[in-house]
Amino acid sequence: MPIANGNGAVRNSHRSMQQHAEGPAAMLAIGTANPTGVVVPQDIFAENIFRVTKSEHLTELKEKMKRICQKTGIDKRHFHLTEESLAAHPEFLDRQVPSLDSRIDMADTAVPELAQCAAIKAIAEWGRPATDITHLVFSTYSAWQAPSFDHQLAALLGLRPTVCRTILSLHGCYGGGRALHLAKQLAENNHGARVLVACSEITLVCFGGPDGGNLIGSALFGDGAGAVIVGAGPFAQGERPLFEMVSATQTTIPRTEHVLGMQVSGGGVDFHLGIQAVHPGGRQILDNIDTELKLDAGKLAASRHVLREYGNMSGATIIFVLDELRRRRKEDGDDLLPEWGAMLAFGPGITIEAMVLRCPRASSLSNN
């Protein structure tokens, strides 16, 4: 059936319908970034946090924090928040003092700029102009304003005004998995689509003086951003699939809403950990997965490496793991890494994002 445009031209409705892509979506490029504020070795973190928050008189809590830090499997973490920033914002130290506005003001610049650093790396690797990006999916737990960080990142990167933007907020540690899942659906259902996934997290929104309820979160979380270009066939000249996104699911475990959550208050974001011994993103969850799934030694080596070098960066962490897997594959060769694998991300709900991935062998890639 012909349809008249506003200028009187006639087009065919069949041609106006969205066409599906050819084959499954794939990750085409990856970029990561960390803030340049400060890098804190884990073995001195407890001393630092109790000193800068003027909490050194809480000796029992400090010793408990030290024991927790020793068991995290983390060597160091990156942070945007510096001692100078804390000196300028003493309200961050006391959760009873309103500080949300100040935290939002700082995050409003820091979060999209950190995402920009990661996205620039991914776009450069991809090899096509940023204006070829058709969709943007931005995940963070630091967004409370509109227009939000997706709008700011699009402007920072010079994306087209017609780019389709989506913001995912407060998904926590499964935010990266959710964003990649959504990008897969967008790429496969829109012929020629190229989706930029950006996850950017900084802990200043949840920073506070140590108390009995925030020790584990303080010992685990760090700051970072990850970006991935996702697309589906046909692939353009120079585009090479890093990981094919074969299938994806999201599952919520019934009656676990109380176990893990986040609450925005006047003093920032409070993390609720109902079961502190099994914190998502910590070493123990990796140990449990190893044990329950009876994995061969080294299967979670990339995950453990990222945890050790960066800590838990919430939704951005999974992109760092994918980047590490890609790096190891490049160094060790195709034959030393399995062709098939699974990506898992856990977060509030408790929600589990799972994706089956395939690493195309170099010999199977066609010359584009």
Residue numbers annotated as active site: 173
Identity of residue 325: L
Cα separation of 213 and 236, whole Å?
A: 51
- 145/149 Cα distance (integer angstroms): 8
Q: How many CA atoms lie within 13 A of 280 on its CB side?
A: 27
CB 179, CB 87: distance < 8 Å: no
Q: How far is 307 from 107, CA to CA, in rounded Å? A: 23
φ/ψ (deg, to 5) at 132: -85, -5
CA-nearest of 356, 211, 214, 210 to 279 is 214
- Contact by Cβ (8 Å): 320, 226: yes
- Residue 269: Cβ within 10 Å count: 22
314, 174 in Cβ contact below 8 A?
no
Residue indicated by tokens 């951005």? 316
Type of residue at 46? A
